[in-house]
Amino acid sequence: MAYVIGPDCTDILDRSCIDVCPVDCIYVGERKSYINGNECIDCGACEVECPVEAIVVDRVAKKNPKFSPYLTDQESFFHDILPGRDAPLGDPNGATALGPVGVDTPLVAALPSNQ
Amino acid sequence: MSKAQKLATDVLILGAGPTGLYGAYYAGFRGLSTIVVDVLPQVGGQVMALYPEKQIRDVAGLPSIRGRDFIAALKEQADAFSPTYLLGRQAVTVEHSSDAAVVTLDDGTRIEAGAVVITAGIGTPKPRPLQAGSQWLDRGLSYFVVDPEVHRDQDVVIVGGGDSALDWADALSTLATSVTLVHRRSGFRGHAATLARVESSPNTTVLTECEVTAFDGDLANGQLQKVTVTHTSGEERLVAADHVIAALGFISDIGPLRTWGLQLAGRSIQVDRSMRTNVPRVYAAGDVADFDGKVRLMSVGFGEVATAVNHVAVELDPDLNLFPGHSTDES
């Protein structure tokens, strides 16, 4: 179970969600943030905080064609090897210590500008 | 430390969330004396901290119940056996004697327990660090305002956008020489009325879309002089600062339990099918406990903590049965 950040976060990257996440499981890419589903505790604090309503719970995301690709994309951010890196991020157990990753998934990198 | 007590109990429960409260009931039902410790000032764990007004619909026999009512009912159930609650305190260390686990709390209280059941959920909330000033912590940087008087006649920089940052900026504006409120976003999460007061205060400057990126001063003598504030455009400015207060929210972590020698997986504690950890006399149940096939739900936590406490009962008195009997046998 986890919350999912959809495409509206792209280029906004407000990070209010990060301020309220009690387990520090929201990781910043380059243009968008991503929630680590293994670390997320499903509390929902981020959902109400997002100024562009980019965050939904996975049960909702599955049924919503706008969000559903970002469910698998979010997993891919952690489990696949991102461009320019030589290993998957995995479960880093804390975004603050890791810092911004600085790279997005191919799906997000290819999105048109959202500004 | 003058208030430090020495206590003894059969069972020490660490964490007063739903699982811990039900564990206190169960320990009482088995005739065991019980102490419950929680770092928060109230019982109820995540339910009270995150969703006290939400309806809970996935507990057996309760089609729908408001979070705070559910916690009140769990506490009433536990209180039938008069457990001792030590709230606002944190378990820090464990030592082992021949017949007890001796746990020391952060206020110096020492508790000799026949067994410890850890029901710590997601752990202890601790302040999110301000990376740029980490070496200044407790010198020119703090995460709380304990006594506003400390900041009288200081140049104070407050970082954050929530209610704590706004409340402190508001409270210090009449004491401090200057207050600079720095927030990464353009909008604030905290109350609009407080923000309006802060913005109209003559000695307060509000800098949005900005971050504190460097500290400068005499670190050895703990005398901060100024900080660098960087706007999202890259533009930098220097701000006079005797003290920085960072209110960047909280991150929960398993905290001091990390030093207990427990077998950990991320933020979870590995247990066997009796809810025993690898450390003698120490059990775990609920969200903090992990095993193959784990499902993190309150309903599961209740079963786990009943399992743990029944095994504790037998560990403390091998003549007892593991099966507790039925609660309907009483009364």
Per-residue pLDDT of B274-287, as tens digits, reads 999 999 999 999 99
- What pLDDT score does B1 carry? 45
Q: Sign of dihedral through CA atoms B281, B285, B289, B293?
A: positive
Under an 8 A CB cutoff, do B187 and A20 touch?
no
What is the model's pTM?
A: 0.80
- CA-closest candidate to residue B302, choices B73, B48, B54: B73
Interface of B with A (CB under 8 A): 46, 50-51, 122, 125, 128-129, 131, 160-162, 184-185, 187, 189, 248-252, 266-267, 287, 296
Question: What is the average per-residue pLDDT within A60-65?
Answer: 95
Return the domain boundaries, chain A.
3-93
For residue B330, what are the CA distances in angstroms to B29, B30, B239? 10, 12, 69
Residue A54, pLDDT above cutoff 50? yes
A·B CB contacts under 8 A: 51
Residue A104: is it exposed, middle or buried by C-beta count within 10 angstroms (0-12/13-18/19+)? buried
- What pLDDT score does B49 carry? 80
For residue B292, what are the CA distances in angstroms to A38, B118, B310? 15, 18, 21
Interface pTM (ipTM) of the complex? 0.74
**Residue B330 pLDDT class (50, 70, 90 cuts):** low
Beta-sheet pairing, B282-284 with B264-265:
unpaired
Residue A23, pLDDT above cutoff 60? yes
CATH for A3-93 is: 3.30.70.20
**Residue B187 pLDDT class (50, 70, 90 cuts):** confident
Per-residue pLDDT of B77-107, as tens digits, reads 999 999 999 999 999 999 999 999 999 999 9
Question: If contacts are CB pairs under 8 Å, which of residues 48-67 in chain A contact chain B?
Answer: 49, 51
